Each structure stands twice: as C-alpha cells, then as structure tokens.
Amino acid sequence: MKNFEQFIGSFSFDWRLAKVDIIGSIAHVQMLVKTKILSSSDGKKIIKGLQSISKDIENGWKLPKQEDIHYAIEKELIKRIGTVGGKMHTARSRNDQVATDLRLYIRKEINDIVKMLNQFQSVLVNNAEKSLDIIMPGYTHLQPAQPILASHHLLAYVWMMQRDKERLLDCLKRVNILPLGSAALAGTSFKIDRNYVAKLLEFDKVTDNSLDAVSDRDFACEYIFVLSLIAVHLSKLSEEIVVWSSVEFGFIKIDDVFTSGSSIMPQKRNPDCAEIIRGKSGRVFGDLMAMLTIVKGLPLAYNRDLQEDKPPVFDATDTIKLCLEVITDMMKSFSFNKEKTVKSTEKGFLQATEIADYLARKSIPFRTAHSIVKDIVNFCIKSNKTLDSLSINEYKKFSKNIEKDIFRFINIGNIVNAKNSIGGTSKKSVLKQITDIKKCIK
Ligand code: ARG
C-alpha cells in the first residue's frame, strides 16, 4: 500500500506532545532508577539525552519525523546516547505513555484557559462597573420586556464564565490521574513504583485498572464538552454584540479594529470578530462529536482509533484560546451608547409589568391586572402614546384603582431600583453581585 506509513502515523499532529512526552519519560526513568530496574548511570545518560532533545526543540530545532512523537523521541535519544537509550521504554508501553501525555497536555491547557477566563471576567466586570448608571431594555424573545441595568446584562456573562471555570477545574480532577505503569493493557511484572511517578509528575493519584487506564478518554470528551460550553457562551455574547452594534440598535461601540468594511458599501462597519467567534463554536462542537464518535463502541483496551483523539483536543483548545484572546481584547474597547439605550427604554412599554404589579398590590388579582394593562397598552398603541404620557384620567378609565402615584411607579429608574431581590437588577443588588464575583476572579 502506498503511503501506509503516513496513514498510520500521527507525527504530523502529535509532535505537539513533545514537551510533555519528555517530561513523562524523565519521571519514568527516575522511577526505574529508584526501583533499581535501571542503573543510576544509565538513568543519568537517558535523562541528559532527553533534556538535550527538549532544549533543542525549545530552540526551534525540528525533531526528525517518525511514525509518532514517542518513536521520534526514542529514536533521537538512541541516536544521541547509543543503545542505552532503548532502556527508557522498560516497563511501559506507548499505550500508557500516550494516555499520560494527553493528560499532561490537557492539564496544562486547563490551567491556561482558567487564567484566560479570569482575565476575560475582569474586563467584563470593569465594563459593568463603568455602566452602573446605564439603563437599557431587558429582553425575552428579543422583545423588549423590562428595564435593566446594562451592568446587570454584562454580569450575566461573568457568571457563565465562572461556571466554565468551575467545570474546567472539576474536569481536572478526572484528568489529573496517572495511567503510566498500566503498560500495554495488563500492567507489568517489573516492580515499578507508580505512586512515585505520580508524585514526580504532580498527579493526584494513579489509575486503578490498567485496561481502563489505557483506553479511557472520558477526560478528553469531558474537556472538549466544557470547551464547547465556553464556545456557546462566547457565541451568545458575540450575537449580542452583532445585534447591539447594528444601526437599528446602536447600543454599543467597539473599536474599529474588530470590525471591517465592505468592498462595495462604504458605510459598512461589520462586526467580523464577533461573527467569527460565533461561527467558531461550530468547530468546537464538531471536535466534541468527533471525540465522542471515536470512543464509541471500542472494545477494551487500546485501539488505534484512539490515535484520532488528538486533533479534536488540539483544535478545540486552539480555537477556544484564540476566541478568548480576541473577545477579551474586543471587550476592552467596548462601551455602551447611553443615549441610545435610554432612548430605547421609552419604546416597548417596559413599564407594563410594573402597572400590573401596582394593581396587584391593591388586591386586584394579578390575572385581572394583567388584562387591564393589556388594554392600556393597546390603547397606547392605537393613540400613539407611551405609558408615561397618559394622563391620570386616561388611566382611570381602565381602573379606578390607579392613582397619581402610578407615575412614580412607572419611572424607569425607579423600576430598576425597586428590583432589589437577590440577583435582581437594582443598583444595590448589582453592586453586591460585583463584590461577590470579584472574590471569584483570581
Ligand atoms: N500514536 C499512537 C496514539 O496516538 C501511540 C500509541 C500506539 N500504540 C499502539 N499499540 N499502536 O495512540
């Protein structure tokens, strides 16, 4: 068969595991020396050789291609230090080795992504603090519903990111378990010390079943799922940016560098970055589907299908990191257009619920109150009026229970500030949210 080597190989993508592969091998060799499976002088030679390869790779040297990264490093080691290099692979297999590498790789990425999420949250909180006096319409079904603080809206995303961080750190508990020492599938008869390797590599513990250990990729599925939810959240925020920056809404401004013009329509400023982030979510979901499909129906233990796990893990990681970088920068340049948001609160009868609540407080059953206010709103639509431009006499035609104080109740600022329940949109509640979330951002 032509191209067989290339077909079964994974070097074209798993070269990215070089660093963690060497870290894992050094710990393995240290353990082999400690347990006297390997002599200390052999161990030293191997470790020195591995360190020199690692340094060269860091300096941009290209490791010669082999079937996969594990063979490439072993071959290079033997080339540099002689046949003693071949002793490195005692008491292990590529199966437990690759599972270890992937865990080390994902662990590092989880920590990086948590850091990026913290930075993104800080930027959003900073914007929320700057927008504490800006009122905008809150929506359901993208129909104007009730007035809210713009800060409140931004903070909703900060809480999503908080859950994303929590999910990543929870996933880390399952990632940070060491499979090395499971060998090909059955464990090994060498008197190895797995716990020592776990300690060296800072894993929380070692896996309990060698068959499960070499075939388990649940942690990778879980990791990409968590990244998929991050993609969902970034996509939702991007959608809002697209809508809010439209001429029709005009609620926000973002720096021109995050937009582009049109080749034929000179007036256009398209929110490309937000659109691309929204679109990139598709890639990450695709990675999740790929990962789930790869592991589905595999008999125990290792199967070569598992080699296909790395491209989706790498792609989802790269995509999320890139999107987080761009959206964090974009949100640094973000500001609300106060005039426009406030103007929008005048449309859409945002006070309607308040009038119904007002009547309900006067012992009118809420259902009846709801229907009275529906009539009032219909009247406003017909006569082209707003709820605050109606006279008290006009109100009284719908319910004699409506008094002059109604105007205090339907003042947009008062409506917002009355929403004092925990998690509500009043300035007081929002300030409390800011204090609380700040404690979660490192
Ligand atoms: N390149 C392989 C992978 O990524 C390494 C493990 C190979 N193991 C085997 N039994 N052929 O999964």
Does 436 map to a domain? no
Q: Is 95 in the pocket of ligand 1 (CB under 6 A)?
A: yes
Q: Is 98 in the pocket of ligand 1 (CB under 6 A)?
A: yes
Does 323 map to a domain? yes
Residue 299 shares a structural domain with residue 418: no
Q: Is 103 in the pocket of ligand 1 (CB under 6 A)?
A: no
Residue 233 shares a structural domain with residue 380: no
Choosing from 39, 262, 383, 389, the catalytic residue is 262
Mean pLDDT, to the nearest integer, of 375-387?
96
CATH number of domain containing 65: 1.10.275.10
Residue 349 shares a structural domain with residue 335: no
Residue 253 shares a structural domain with residue 401: no
Does 437 map to a domain? no
Task: With a cut of 90, say whether residue 268 has pLDDT above it.
Answer: no
Complete DSSP assignment for 82-122? -GGGGGGGTT--HHHHHHHHHHHHHHHHHHHHHHHHHHHHH
Between CA 437 and CA 177 the distance in angstroms is: 30
- CA-nearest residue, atom 12 of ligand 1: 307
Q: How far is CA 312 from the centre of its chain?
A: 15
Q: Which pLDDT score is estimated for 314?
A: 99
Residue 104 shares a structural domain with residue 10: no
Residue 164 shares a structural domain with residue 302: yes
The residue to mutate among 93, 105, 307, 308, having the most atoms of ligand 1 within 8 angstroms of its beta carbon, is 307
Candidates 178, 187, 167; CA nearest to 229 is: 167
Mean pLDDT, to the nearest integer, of 37-48?
98
Q: Which pLDDT score is estimated for 125?
A: 98
Task: With a cut of 90, say whether residue 332 has pLDDT above it.
Answer: yes
Confidence of residue 434 (pLDDT cuts 50, 70, 90): very high
Q: Which pLDDT score is estimated for 214?
A: 98
Average pLDDT in the chain: 97
Q: Is 307 in the pocket of ligand 1 (CB under 6 A)?
A: yes
Torsion of CA 193, 196, 201, 205, to 10 degrees: 80
Percent of the chain past pLDDT 90, that is, above it, reads: 97
Residue at which a domain ends, from 340, 357, 390: 340
With tokens 């002793």, the residue in question is: 87
Where on the phi/psi map is residue 64: left (φ > 0), alpha (ψ -120 to 50), or beta? beta
Mean pLDDT, to the nearest integer, of 300-321?
98
Domain that residue 249 falls in: 95-133+148-191+208-340
Exposed e or buried b per residue across 49-70, where buried means at least 16 C-beta atoms within 10 angstroms of its C-beta: bbeebbeebeeeeebeebbbbb
Whether this model's pTM surpasses 0.85: yes
Non-local CB neighbours of 72 within 8 Å, separated by 6+ positions: 11, 15, 18, 63, 64, 65, 66
Q: Is 66 in the pocket of ligand 1 (CB under 6 A)?
A: no
Confidence of residue 260 (pLDDT cuts 50, 70, 90): confident
Residue 177 shares a structural domain with residue 104: yes
Candidates 71, 31, 64, 70; CA nearest to 47 is: 31
Choosing from 141, 189, 263, 363, the catalytic residue is 141
Mean pLDDT, to the nearest integer, of 42-68?
98
